[in-house]
Structure 1
Amino acid sequence: MVAQLSRHLAVLEVRVADDGDPDLGVPLADALRIAPGWIDTYRDLTIAQSGTAPPGMPGAFVLQYLIDPLASVIATAAAVTPFVLAAEAGLWSIGLDPTYLYPVAVQVRPGDHRRVDDPAERLAQAREGYVATAGRIATELPTPTRMSSRQRLGMVEDMWRIALAKVAGDPPPDRRSCCLIYSLPGCVPCAGCPRLR
């Protein structure tokens, strides 16, 4: 199954952890503790690259980086295999690019992963598990600037819809949340940005 996922997730390596394997760089169970330092480091990296880091942008990127890999792997598994992957945070960790701090790998541990033969039911169960975990992370994520519930929970929904669009080969859907990349010098709103509507 991992080989099937890797074919569909070209920019994200998927690993299955064996007993005793360490977590990758960011265990989702520790996301809320790790995120403030990651946001600060990402802000400093953005300033070094672009000369500025507009308020809210580092927090938006870190939130997206926390939940996008979870959405991508769970949605892809539900779409291309007969399995619903368990979404409990303790089963997941994310490996980051050492320079630019974006996700490059996802590791999942054995858990209550289950076979569901009905495709509609499989997607519904997969989404339910993902939303429970990603929604908690999004709602409780400590950020240095205010982040609205629309932005937080919109990001949860957006990452799921984007993951399904990718696996189907569809264009990016319209987003409810904004990554704020347009606020960097020389950047424009990304595909699906709510500012374009």
Structure 2
Amino acid sequence: MQLSRHLAVLEVRVADTGDPDLGVSLSAAVDIAPRWIETYRDLTIAQSGSAPAGMPAAFVLQYLLDPIASTIATAAAVSHVALDADAGRWSIGLDPIYLYPVAVQLRAADDRLLVDREERLEVARAGYLATATDIATRLPTPTRMSSRQRLGMAEDLWQMALARVAGEPPPQRRSCCLIYALPGCAPCAGCPRLR
């Protein structure tokens, strides 16, 4: 798919009728997330010696939302299409060892052709945020995750996706991935701790 050329680290696939979902269906994200968070926690401990409370859940939420944010924002920015963000059409393929997204698959839906760039970006953003907010709000986490973190992550990933497409540095975030709490790691670009 042409969109994959703009998303260097994420393969974009359009599913044919009968194609299975990739590893994680967004419509089942809330059901799958607890196991994914636990497995990601164990993987982080094996790699870094610790997994700070809240960090595995923050990464899983980011991994759920970033592929759809990146794909929808890129399509809206580089084409005339505002992709339908309905969770039922999206699934994410994960790296088999490190569990981060490597592919996103979408099924046929009611995508909108909009020539006006500002209108297209607003329609795309509204659709993405509706799906992302639902996932972020309902995501079960083993430790408390504030609404600022959840909803901030949804908005942050949209802004980060637009910045990548424009070749701009990451914007200041409202949410935190907590990577700074791992041994030897520093806050990432845009971290709210750097304000």
Aligned length: 195
Distance in 2 between residues matched to 1:43 and 1:96, nearest whole Å: 16
In the alignment, what sits opposite 1:170? 168
Corresponding residue SS for 1:21: coil
1:142 to 136, 140, 144: 140
Partner secondary structure for residue 179 of structure 1:
coil
Question: Whole-Å Cα distance in 2 between the matches of residues 149 and 114 of structure 1?
Answer: 31
- Give the residue type in structure 1 aligned to 2:52: P
Pairing 1:55–2:53 present: yes
State the alpha-carbon separation in 1 of the partners of residues 44 and 103 from structure 2: 21
**3-state DSSP class of the match of 1:145?**
coil
> Which of the numbers 12, 15, 18 marks the counterpart of 1:17?
15
Superposed displacement of residue 162, structure 1: 0.2
Q: What code does the residue aligned with 1:13 have?
A: E
Q: Which residue of 2 aligns with 1:122?
A: 120
- The SS at the match of 1:15 is strand
Helix, strand or coil: the match of 1:22?
Answer: coil
Match of 2:159 among 158, 161, 166: 161
* Residue of 130, 133, 141 corresponding to 2:131: 133
In structure 1, what is the Cα distance between the partners aligned to 2:4 and 2:68?
A: 14
- Displacement of 1:114: 1.5
Equivalence for 1:181: 179
Deviation of 1:43 after TM superposition, in Å, equals 0.2
Segments of 5+ residues of structure 2 without an aligned counterpart are none
Q: State the match for 2:83 in structure 1.
A: 85
Any runs of at least 4 consecutive aligned residues in structure 1 with deviations exceeding 6 A, and if so which? none
Residue equivalent to 1:104? 102
Alpha-carbon deviations, 1:95-146, whole Å to 9, x = none? 0000000000000000011101110000000000000000000001000000
Work out the percentage of aligned pairs sharing the same amino acid. 75
Q: Show the counterpart of 2:38.
A: 40
The residue identity in structure 2 corresponding to 1:89 is: A
Structure 1 residue ranges without an equivalent (≥5)? none
TM-score normalised by length of structure 2: 0.99
Q: Secondary structure of the residue that 1:93 maps to in structure 2?
A: strand
Measure how far apart 1:8 and its partner are.
1.0
Alpha-carbon distance in structure 2 between the residues aligned to 1:37 and 1:93:
17
